[in-house]
């Protein structure tokens, strides 16, 4: 969802996160990943304009940040990141 919203391909996000495209694809397929890998992917998506939305009764999610605004950093959790990567 986040990657699609940014109109970025697997290779682009993987390069920004400094992980292999295969690793990113495994994460998107809900396969296990190291916390450092998930944090790198999350940081790359945030740098590209994604905001991770914490659980608020409606579930975790993502949205695109409004241009010119700063984003808050929520706790890095595998669930938040995987929700952001799914589409």
Domain count for the chain = 1
Q: Report pTM.
A: 0.72
CB neighbours of residue 37 within 10 Å: 20
**Longest CA–CA separation in the chain, Å:** 34
Residue 75: the pLDDT is: 38
Nearest to 64 by CA among 26, 20, 7: 7
The CATH number that applies at residue 26 is 1.10.260.40
Domain range for residue 16?
2-85
Going residue by residue through the chain (87 aa), what tens digit of pLDDT does each one get?
788 888 889 999 999 999 999 999 999 999 999 999 999 999 999 999 999 888 877 788 888 887 655 444 333 444 555 555 654
């Amino acid at each position: 969802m986040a990657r699609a919203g940014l109109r970025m391909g697997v290779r682009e996000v993987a390069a920004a996160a400094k992980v292999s495209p295969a690793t990113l694809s495994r994460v998107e397929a809900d396969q296990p990943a190291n916390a450092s890998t998930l944090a790198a992917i999350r940081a790359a998506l945030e740098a590209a304009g994604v905001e991770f939305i914490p659980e608020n009764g409606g579930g975790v999610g993502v949205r695109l940040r409004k241009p010119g605004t700063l984003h808050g950093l929520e706790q890095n959790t595998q669930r938040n990141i995987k929700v952001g990567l799914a589409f």
